[in-house]
Every structure is written in C-alpha cells, then in structure tokens.
Amino acid sequence: MDIFDKYALASGRHDRVLEVGSDPFNLRMEEIYSATEARVNGRRTILVGTNNYLGITFDPACTEAAIDAIRKYGTGTTGSRIANGTYSAHLALEEVLSRFLKRRSTMVFPTGYQANLGILAGLAGASDTIFLDADSHASIYDGSRLSGATLVRFRHNDPKDLDKRLTRPGTQGGCKLIVVEGIYSMLGDRAPLAEFAEVKREHGAYLLVDEAHSLGVLGDHGRGLAEEQGVEDDADFVVGTFSKSLGAVGGFGASNHPKFDVLRFCSRPYMFTASSSPSNVASVLVAVRRMAEQPELRLRLWDNARALHDGLSNLGLEIISPESPVIAIRMKDEETAIHAWNQLLENGIYVNLALPPGTPNGACLLRCSVSAAHTGEQIEEILARFAAMAAELNERSEKTLAAHATP
C-alpha cells in the first residue's frame, strides 16, 4: 500500500480536470500588472477571483511602506512573538487595529487561517462546546478541532436550529462559543447576526464573528457585519484577515474581554510560529488607514458589485448569491463548470472554479469576487465574455438534446 493511495479518488478527478484544459488549482500568474489584471497563459487577463475587495495591493503608500520596512528591519523576524519576533511595528499595528475596531485588545497572526486556529484553540477547551455554522471555513473547523472542545454544527444561517442545539443534553457543561461569519466566502451571503446575538444572550454563550470577507466591505466604517447590524457589543470576539480588503497576508483576533491577552502565552498557534514579516506589517498599517479614511473605496466596490451582479443575472445565469462582492454562479454539473471556467480563461477572464466537496450543498460554481479597482470598461468586458460563454453552453446543450432525440 502506498501512503498516497487514500487520495486516489481526488487524483482521478484532478486528472479529468486536466484533460479539459488548464489546472484551476495550480494556475500561474506569470506577471501581475495591477490589482485587476495579470498575464495568465501568456494572455492579459482580467482578474475576477482575487478577493482584493478594496483594490489596494498596488497602493503606492502601502508598497513604499513595505519597501522602507525591509530596508530598516530586514526580510523577516526569524522568531515567534514570545521569543524575538515582537517588533515595535507589530505592537503599533495591534494598537491601530484596536482603535479601528473599537476593541480593547488585538492579537496579530502571520495568516488569517492561523488567526482562527489560534483564537479558537485558545478560547475553547475540552470542557467547552463550540457551535459553528455548517458552512464555516476550513480554518474554523480546524481551530475548533484543535481546541479539543465538543463540536456541534447547526444549519447554515439558522438561529432557530442553533437555539435548539444549545438546549440539547450534553451541551450544558463548560462554556458555549458560537462561531459565525460576516460574509460567507463561497456564496457571498451574510449571517443573520442580530438574531444570532439574541440566541447568544438567551443562553449565556459567547459569540465569535469571522469578518474575513466583510472587513472593509460592510458597515458605515468598514468594520464588518457586526457594525452593519448594530450588534458589535454582542460580538465578544472578532477574527479577520489581511489578505482580502487589506491586500497583504496575516490575520487578527480582537476582543473587549479584560483577560483576552492571556492567549498570548496560552494559544499554541500564536506562541510557536514566526511572527509576520516587517514589510507585511508596514503595508497593513497603511492599508488600515486607507480603509478608514477612504470610504469612497467601499462605495466604489458596491457600485461594481451591483453592476456585475445585475449584469450576470440579466444574462440568464443562475446566480445563487445575494447582492454582494462575492457572486456565485451555479453550473448544472462538474463537467459544465470546468468547461465554462476554461472558456472564460481562454478569453481573458479569471474567476474561481469551486467544486464539491468544498462547496455548500455539493454545488458546482463559478465564483467571482469584485474589486473597487475594477473599471466600468472592465465590468463591461467581463459581462461580454460571460455572455459568450453562456451562449456557447446553450449551443452545447441544444446539440446534446438534439443528439439524444435522433432515432
């Protein structure tokens, strides 16, 4: 028996994907021209699947801050936060984020994935129970498992199901931690957070909100869904990432709990990993200020999101997302989704191909994420290419029906 035999099914599916065209899971960006364009397979391509919501990856102030930090502090810290890896910039970023988020304390992590691992594994223990939305991100599942707590899933965006599960026998000991997301990454839908907050209060539970895809996107100040729905005081813990709206790499956890900082020497994912590079921290410091001081970026993002959502809907495509910067288009099956993805790429449009088991309800999706940096002309070009793709899929479907109808 070979150690990789357990992946035979996944490898077989991947081989079939490669027979159709490019590898969607190992696509190479040969050159990056801007926040919205790159060279892919030798072709200038519009990027519609990067989560670069505010489009600030090429912001001159951010890039200059990163370059300056490399010159002053070098390329890396070579140590964890509890060893030699805490620089003045790490503390400055935590202070800036705390002020922006209106939280007492913030902890910075090298990645958003690790932020969920570190906060969840630190907060919950073997005597506690974590209640998480069934559609939660992999990092939430992994952090929950790492904590050793009892794990209870409730139906996606269903406060009544959560309420029912909170009252079941076996979930009464220890602390109860509810985990939801602001915007869900696959379908772009939002948690009914005000209703979840009510359930949380009724049961004396704690509430953690992952604002990874909603930071900079929702709320009058861009603090996320909790701000938009007016329940920031009910969100005991907030987790987020720097790799979406802030255009870098890293993550954070924040809270008003007076004992939150105990996680700095009790959370293993925080304690035993090297800290974020000085250049990364420097660019995020500037990006947070951009996010706070330039609400027009968020307004432009939503203008683009509405234009693309409406345009794709008018093409007759099956949009299963609400109006959001994340737009999910359901394809009828895996073969159709792979074919459509390749056709778009060949015509200079990059989107995400999302297939089961990594999608809700086993859906086969083309996933778009809109940026404030997309121009009106680019939105029109994206819609034109999707129109051509939809027409080609209809033609293929008609030919298949005709072939089956032939005696």
> What is the mean pLDDT of the segment spanning 10-30?
94
Q: pLDDT band at 403, cuts 50/70/90?
A: low
pLDDT band at 173, cuts 50/70/90?
confident
- Is residue 3, in this structure, part of any structural domain at all? no
Regarding predicted confidence, which is higher, 404 or 17? 17
Q: What is the pTM of this model?
A: 0.95
pLDDT of residue 405: 66
| Average of per-residue pLDDT values in the chain | 96
Q: Check whether 170 has a pLDDT greater than 80.
A: no
Kindly state whether residue 201 falls inside one of the protein's structural domains.
yes
On whether both 83 and 153 belong to a single domain, the answer is yes
Average pLDDT, integer, range 216-232? 98
118 and 238 both lie in a single domain: yes
Identify the pLDDT of residue 171. Answer: 67
Residue 173 shares a structural domain with residue 124: yes
2 belongs to a structural domain: no
175: nearest Cα among 232, 133, 236: 236
Residue 382 sits in the same domain as residue 279? no
pLDDT band of residue 139 (cuts 50, 70, 90) is very high
The H or E element containing residue 109 is: strand 105-109
The verdict on 32 and 65 lying in the same domain is no
Q: What is the DSSP annotation of 320-358?
A: -S-SSSEEEEEESSHHHHHHHHHHHHHTTEE-EEE-TTS
In terms of domains, do 265 and 154 share one? yes
Segment 17-46 mean pLDDT: 96
Predicted local distance difference test score (pLDDT) of residue 396: 79
Closest CA to 174 of 215, 125, 110: 125
Within this chain, do residues 275 and 321 fall inside the same structural domain, yes or no?
A: no
What are the b/e assignments for 7-22, b being 16+ CB within 10 Å? eeeeeeeeeebeeeeb
- Residue 52 is assigned to a structural domain of this protein: no
Mean pLDDT of 199-221: 98
Closest to 212 measured CA to CA, from 352, 47, 369, 15: 369
Query: What is the per-residue pLDDT for 131?
Result: 97
Domain with 41 in it: what CATH number? 3.90.1150.10
Range of the domain at 343: 8-47+295-405
Determine the Cα–Cα distance for residues 209 and 240; give it in Å rounded to an integer: 9
> Pick from 249, 271, 293: which residue ends a domain?
293
185 and 96 inside one domain: yes
Instruction: Please tell me whether residues 220 and 178 are part of one structural domain.
Output: yes
Residues 216, 221, 223, 227, Cα dihedral to 10°:
-130
Both 228 and 329 in one domain: the answer is no
pLDDT greater than 90 at residue 168: no
Confidence category of residue 295, pLDDT binned at 50, 70, 90: very high
Instruction: Decide if 383 is inside a domain.
Output: yes
**Residue that is last in its domain, among 293, 308, 332:** 293
Integer distance in angstroms from the first to the last C-alpha of the chain? 48
CA–CA distance, 52 with 277 (Å, rounded to integer): 20
Binning pLDDT at 50, 70 and 90, where does residue 107 land?
very high
Q: Is 360 within the bounds of a domain?
A: yes
At 235, is the secondary structure helix, strand, or coil?
coil
Same domain, 267 and 335: no
CA dihedral 266, 269, 273, 276 (to 10 degrees): -100
**The total number of residues written for the chain in this structure:** 407
- State how beta strands 352-354 and 251-255 pair: unpaired
Percent of the chain with pLDDT over 90: 95
- What is the CATH classification number for the domain harbouring 139? 3.40.640.10
Q: Give, as one character, the DSSP assignment of residue 49.
A: B
**Per-residue buried b or exposed e for 311-347, using 16+ beta carbons within 10 Å of the residue's own CB:** bbeeeebebbbeebbbbbbbbeebebbbbbbbbbbeb
pLDDT at 394: 86
For a pLDDT cut of 70, what percent of the chain falls above it?
97
What is the crossing angle of helices 112-123 and 138-147, to 10°? 30
Q: What's the pLDDT tens digit per position in 258-286?
A: 999 999 999 999 999 999 999 999 999 99
1 part of a folded domain: no
pLDDT score, position 395 = 85
How is residue 61 written in tokens?
């102030």
Is residue 115 situated within a structural domain?
Answer: yes
Question: What integer is the mean pLDDT of 23-31?
Answer: 95
Residue range 332-358: average pLDDT? Answer: 96
Domain total in the chain: 2
Name the token pair of 228: 């938009």
Tell me, yes or no, whether 343 and 194 share the same domain. no
Among 293, 319, 337, give the residue marking a domain's end.
Answer: 293
pLDDT of residue 315 exceeding 90, the answer is yes
